[in-house]
Amino acid sequence: MHGWTGRILRVDLNRLEHSFQKLDGDFARKWVGGRGFASRILWEELEPGTDPLGPDNELIIARGPLTGLLAPSSGKLVVAAKSPLTGGYGDGNIGTTASVELGKAGYDAIIIRGRAPRHSMLVVEDNKVSVEPAEDIWGLDTFEAERRLRKTYGRFAGILVIGPAGENLVRYATIISQEGRSGGRPGIGAVMGSKNLKAVVIKGSGEVPVADKKELVKTATQAFRDIKHKPNYEFWMRQGTMMTVQWGQENSVLPAYNYSEGVFEASESMDGYAMERVKVTQRGCPNCNMTCGNVVLDEEGKESELDYENVAMLGSNIGLGDIRKIAVLNRLADMYGLDTISLGNTIGFAMEASEKGLLEEKLEWGDYERVRELIGEIARREGLGGLLAEGTRRMAERLGGEAYKFAMNVKGLETSAYDCHATPGMALAFATSPIGAHHKDAWVISWEVSTDRLSYGREKAAKVIEHQRIRGGMFESLVTCRLPWIEVGLDLDYYPRLFKAATGISMSLDDFMALGDRIYAQIRAFWIREYGSWDRRYDQPPAKWFEKPLTKGPLKGAKLDYTRYQGLLDHYYDLRGWDTRGIPRRGTLRRLGLEDVAEELDRIVGLSE
Amino acid sequence: MLRVKYLGHYSMVRGMRVEEISLDAPTTIRKLLEERLGDALDWDQTIVLVNGRPVSPDYKVKDGDVVSVMPFIGGG
Ligand code: SF4
């Protein structure tokens, strides 16, 4: 095998045993890696109804055939499990040296099951695998824990850790690496905590075999060079995703006051230029020549790594417009191991609930001091923090009444930082993302505002699917960063060429699109099996965007139209070959090589022809 | 008087983030921006808003308009 290492590591924390499994060649070609592997393995191996925070859930850490190789921005890993936040399929993408080390140690994936009898960490050094005690780092924040581990395992070890939030099973706890890279929004850090697993340390001394090294070096070198010569490269290196604050403000998609508005009066004090004034350095993932982690000095004089999502969610969305204060909140979230997107959502939700008199505690918009404390309380599940640790879907259920209308989530996962009152296509992207409302699979706003912004035509559904195939299918399985393509415009044709050089296998872009469709159908099947039934109500954007129009900015008065949105969703289902409930049709599953999935789904919900 | 806001790398191409322009004769967005951004302007990958609303390159600018010109972004 080339590109793949050909081996999977299985760890059983109940018995403190491990085993090596050969990666089947047909399986590798059919599912490629990363999300492809994770979605299929969870389907095959989890009993329906598995408690996501129980020992039988599986934590999967997976690379793909380009991960860690000489390829643009290839230092990424997928972490996946059944989600404690959504109850469905959950995964995340994390930039980390652990991605490189995993391949060098000789594994395409680690599958971790069970629960360790005491606080532990998994240490993988090539063929040497051990579960070690972690009492001395349990309770530490992610920065301190990683620093301690580096003392023992060296500068170059790949390290994944959880913070107090993961230990205390906060439902949107993530996994953190390199003091600021975070992945696994749907609570994958909580799954790790539920296994009593504080850290995974990976060190490898080998090399991933590749089919045509010369060709790989040539193609990758060309791609790296292309990236550097893109017209917006220089500006990207200055601001990275932080440019989106101003862009979002101009286009009325910058979330403000728990997604009540798409513009924010203090956007200029939290935008890319404000960030540049306090920027001290830049960090990134391995193998990347367009690094986008902007490190600033925060209000407390400490380093904090910012990107757009965390600034919008912990800034305008909670009514706070001071970049250095936002940076403090962001740093705390990273240290505790909390997802900044869901965190900004739960805080925004609580502020709105307080304003409406639904919460006992008074929580004012933009109250930095209180929010600063509250983040720790969430990570420790103390007082009001215990409620916020549950995520907006459960918070709304607790508060009752109309609270669900401003709980900004889809399938339980909170929306990323884009207001969709006036972008029906992006609302569809959130509503049909395979992990709940997230932007990584499809982001269509540039295209949408430049065409017919407020329309609900079939081409919008097609655009969302195109993105989902490439971003959510190809990139999440190769596993490399999508940003060279989406942000600086690297030609997509590079990827089949890099894949061929790495694996020796020819796959066209169309084949990758089909892979995306297969993964989407597989993930949808997982959700259906877990939920026991399915209908289109699960593919709806949050109610607020239909009901409460924007009151500010050039799009004042805009909101989504419920009936027209259903038409857009119908187009989406139809183009995917899914029925009007949102369930893949029998013929679609057959075409994608998922006959066994069809059989099982048919027993649960009855498939349409 | 007309205001043009340059976002992203267009601010570097133009060497400024905001420009005030007095209109001597009627002109279109296309002409206005091509004169100022030259070859760097890629219409297929650019959004032009006037007063917050998208317009076509043939839109005739008028006094008081606020034009925002920005590249497509990928949304992270
Ligand atoms: S572009 Fe940013 S997110 Fe992507 S690999 Fe580079 S540093 Fe990481």
What is the value of ipTM here, to two decimals?
0.97
- Domains observed in chain B: 2-71 (3.10.20.30)
Contact A241 B52 (CB under 8 A): no
Is residue A297 within 8 A of residue A278, CB to CB? The reply is yes
For ligand 1, say whether the CB of A424 is within 6 Å of any of its atoms: no
B15 touches A at CB < 8 Å: no
Cα Rg, chain A, nearest whole Å? 22
**What's the token pair of residue A100?**
């490189």
| Position in ligand 1 atom list of the atom nearest CA A286 | 5
A375-388 pLDDT, tens per residue?
999 999 999 999 99
Residue B4: the pLDDT is: 98
| Confidence tier at A74 by pLDDT (50, 70, 90) | very high
Residue corresponding to tokens 């920065």: A143
Helix (H, G, I), strand (E, B), or coil: what is residue A77?
strand
Residue with tokens 């699979």: A441
Say how far apart CA A87 and CA A341 lie, in whole Å: 18
**Residue A13 tokens, joined:** 């924390």
Question: Which domains, ranges and CATH numbers included, belong to chain A?
Answer: 7-203 (3.60.9.10), 236-414 (1.10.569.10), 418-489+508-609 (1.10.599.10)
Q: Indicate the residue of B9, B47, B73 with minimum beta-carbon distance to A234.
A: B9
- Please state, for a pLDDT cut of 70, what percent of chain B lies above it: 100
* CA gap A494, A485 in Å, rounded: 10
Q: Is ligand 1 within 6 A of the CB of residue A481?
A: yes
pLDDT of residue A2: 98
Length, in residues, of chain A: 609
The model's pLDDT over A461-502, given as tens digits with 9 standing for 90+, comes to 999 999 999 999 999 999 999 999 999 999 999 999 999 999
- Residue A347 clears pLDDT 90, i.e. is over it: yes
User: In this structure, what token pair is assigned to residue A194?
Assistant: 């539920």
Question: What does the pLDDT read at residue A326?
Answer: 98
| B73/A446 Cβ within 8 A | yes
Helix (H), strand (E) at residue A607: none
| Closest approach atom of ligand 1 to CA A283 | 7
- pTM over 0.95? The answer is yes
Task: Give how far Cα A509 sits from Cα of A27, A103, A475, A514, A516, Å.
Answer: 19, 25, 12, 9, 10
Chain B nearest CA to A438, separation (Å): 11
Average pLDDT over residues A10-15: 98
Q: Which residue, A492, A430, A491, is CA-closest to A464? A: A430
Give the pLDDT score at B53.
87
Helices (H), A1-156: 25-31, 34-45, 97-105, 142-153
Could you give the 3-state DSSP secondary structure of residue B69?
A: strand
- Please identify which residue in the block is written with the tokens 């403190």: A16
pLDDT 10s digits, A39-66: 999 999 999 999 999 999 999 999 999 9
pLDDT-based confidence at A513, cuts 50/70/90?
very high
Token reading at A510: 């169309």
A425 backbone dihedrals φ, ψ, rounded to 5°? -65, -40
Mean pLDDT of chain A: 98
Tens of pLDDT, residues A552-571: 999 999 999 999 999 999 99
| Contact call for B47 and A446, based on CB within 8 A | yes
Percent share of chain A, pLDDT over 70:
100
Determine the Cα–Cα distance for residues A264 and A325; give it in Å rounded to an integer: 16
Does the beta carbon of A291 sit less than 6 angstroms from any atom of ligand 1?
Answer: yes
**Residue pLDDT, tens place only, A156-200:** 999 999 999 999 999 999 999 999 999 999 999 999 999 999 999
Which residues on neighbouring strands pair with residue A294, listed in sequence order? A282, A306
Residue B15: what pLDDT?
Answer: 97
* DSSP string covering A495-554: HHHHHHHHHS----HHHHHHHHHHHHHHHHHHHHHHHSS--GGGG---THHHHS---SST
CA distance A515 to A39: 12
- Any chain B CB within 8 A of the CB of A244? yes
Count how many pairs of residues, chain A against chain B, have C-beta atoms within 8 Å.
Answer: 76
Residue A134 pLDDT grade (very low, low, confident, very high; cuts 50, 70, 90): very high
